[in-house]
Amino acid sequence: MVSAILPTVNITAPAPAMLARPWAGRLAALFVVAQLAFLALPRFRASMGMWAAVVGATVVCALGLGLLFRAAAKSGRALEVEWRPRATHGFQAIAQTIVYAYWAYSYAPTREQLLFMAAQLPFAYLLDMLLGWRRYGRFRLGFGPLPVVGSINLFLWMIDAFFAVQLAMIAAAYLSREFIQWSRAGQRRHIFNPSAFALTAVALVLLALERTDLARGQEIAGSLGVGPYCYDAILLGGLVVQIMFPVVLTTLGAFATLFGLGALYAALTGGVYFVDTAAPVAVFLGMTLLITDPATSPTNPLGKLIYGALYGAGVFALYTLLGVYGGAPWAAEVTYFDKLLAVPVLNLLVPVMQRLGEVGWARARTISRPFAVVLYLALYLIGRPQLVANEGRDVGFWNAACAADEDNCHGLAVAYQARCMSERRDIAFCEAAAPKVLEAGCAADVLPICERLGAHLLAGTGSFTQDPDRAGEVLTRACSGGVVSACFRHGKHLLGGSDPTNRSPEAGLEEACDEADSAACELLGLLIDRYAQSPTDHGRVIHALTRGCGESQPVACAHLAHRFAQGRGVPRDLARAHRLLETACAGGMEPACRMAKSLPTPHPRTPGVE
């Protein structure tokens, strides 16, 4: 009966077709030109890191192709191109496109990432050519690079300066597929899911170096969940593959296991394990589109269920382990990698799961694909409220849970950071939670939390009592640790105070000023000016205000103009004072406009005139 509702679809790949020999050189040249064409776009020209990465990747591929064509010409062997699209690649690309379409609709910056993905595709095709011609003398042209590039970009974006790492992940995916193989069912096959291998390799390096800030993982985790139908879009994309190919049992095993473990945790603690959902949206994406590679997973029903179940259990355990490693509950950017690290390990265990699925009692059990799809859909519909409208999304829930059990206070801290600091929701509950969370975070030496605590103590907002002295202590601590916004906040507070001897924000502001932060230069100059008496101090004031002066920082220009008009710490120079006031006026500072008109016009022979 179920089969009649949802028939199994059999896809027959089109017969391969050999292209004419000249197409080898033409395709190679086409993709090299396509790769270089991205350098003409303003977005790539604006970032030296991206520009250099594209140039470097193109040069490497062009040199490799040149050597292959030269070797082929010397041996009298022609490099061939075979048109051989595979249905699995095509439908995987369609599934990913559905997710990307909803993601780009709901979160505008994703549209820019689609441009970056397009720049990665020629590189992926060039690598595919190199490896195909090197091994077989034949390049199989098809859709293969589409799901590889699409999968990597679903889970990890690097910042612009490290765009080369984005390309390196594609290279790692192809190289692992080509060189890390074993024999399964009498055939040579790659061991690892190529995309997962590349993602895990980069994730481990970032974790080891404690530089998870180089990846935009938290941005992905947050933006994937934008919009009310984010889970549904992923489900729809997954169904495209699950209906066409026998992979739904893998997702079903992961989904059921993760929900089961979450329910057990809730029964024991009264909290929500993943804080605001039964399964984070990026984890749901992983179990739907990352672990379902047929080539690197078991082929029998029980093996698929075990594979999926172990993935769910692995993510569940890694969430806690990574949290401990990164300093939970202040380590959301570290726990993001929980859905990636388990996959290569599971790939290595596939032969074991395959054998378990072939024991006598299991071999006789078959589960029809239509039935499995319908069962999965039923479980999803039952569990959907816990995905999209979980009680853990309410900061008030975590206030009560923390009050009832101290072990749940970590959930309050995570919820506060997500709902109160990032999204600014649940204002009343946020104010009630702020003292406990911010004091705990600052005590744990989380410097951005210290900066926020200092802001509340300065203003006496919410549940806080105004305490300028304590605010100064925590802001100084955050500023000394490199939180420039804390330096600004403390510096502006000091400008309004009566103690010119407090110089604690200066080091942080000076460092930011050296990195061409004009606002930091302006504030630094104003702070030093409070106590400047020696020629050295006056020189520091002039240097900082000069670097800060511009239409975006008119106060620096006006203050500098006043010094030149009065000859304070510098030779009197009315002409320069006029120019500085005009700059401040152009920046919207009306008093500077009036001062420029009232300032005496310098005589042509005035020594200060340039």
Mean pLDDT of all residues in 456-472: 88
Task: Give yes or no for a contact between 99 and 160, defined as CB atoms under 8 angstroms apart.
Answer: no
Tell me the backbone φ, ψ of residue 182, rounded to 5 degrees: -150, 180
Measured distance CA(145)–CA(118) in Å, rounded: 11
317 has a pLDDT exceeding 90:
yes
Sequence-distant (6+) residues with CB within 8 A of 294 are 88, 245, 246, 247
Residue-wise pLDDT tens digits, 37-68: 999 999 999 999 999 999 999 999 999 999 99
Q: What is the pLDDT of residue 1?
A: 35
Residue 314 in this model has a pLDDT that exceeds 50: yes
Q: Quick one: average pLDDT of 337-350?
A: 97
pLDDT of residue 424: 66
The ranges assigned to domains in the chain are 2-16+84-106+143-393
How does residue 169 score in pLDDT terms, banded at 50, 70 and 90? very high
Per-residue pLDDT band at 531 (split at 50, 70, 90): confident
Q: CA nearest 454: which of 465, 441, 443, 470? A: 470
Lowest mean pLDDT among 51-55, 217-221, 315-319: 217-221
Q: Does residue 3 have a pLDDT over 70?
A: no
pLDDT band at 177 (very low <50, low <70, confident <90, very high): very high
Residues of the chain with pLDDT > 70: what percent? 93
11 against 136, higher pLDDT: 136
Q: What is the pLDDT of residues 252-290, one digit of tens each?
A: 999 999 999 999 999 999 999 999 999 999 999 999 999
Cβ contacts of 10 within 8 Å, gap of 6 or more: none
Q: pLDDT-based confidence at 366, cuts 50/70/90?
A: confident
* DSSP state at residue 276: S
Q: What is the pLDDT of residue 511?
A: 87
Residue 5 has pLDDT above 60, yes or no: no
Of 9 and 100, which is predicted with more confidence? 100
* pLDDT bucket at 497, cuts 50 / 70 / 90: low
Determine which of 292-301, 309-318, 414-423, 596-605 has the lowest per-residue pLDDT on average. Answer: 596-605
The mean per-residue pLDDT over the stretch 546-565 comes to 88
- Residue 526 tokens read as 């104003």
89 pLDDT higher than 60: yes
Residue 337 has pLDDT above 90, yes or no: yes
- Decide which of 147 and 13 is more confident: 147
For the segment 117-129, the average pLDDT, to the nearest whole number, is 97
What is d(CA 134, CA 130) in angstroms, rounded to the nearest whole number?
6
Strand order of the sheet with strand 17-18?
Answer: 17-18, 80-83, 138-141
DSSP label at residue 465: P
Are 142 and 82 within 8 A, CB to CB?
A: no
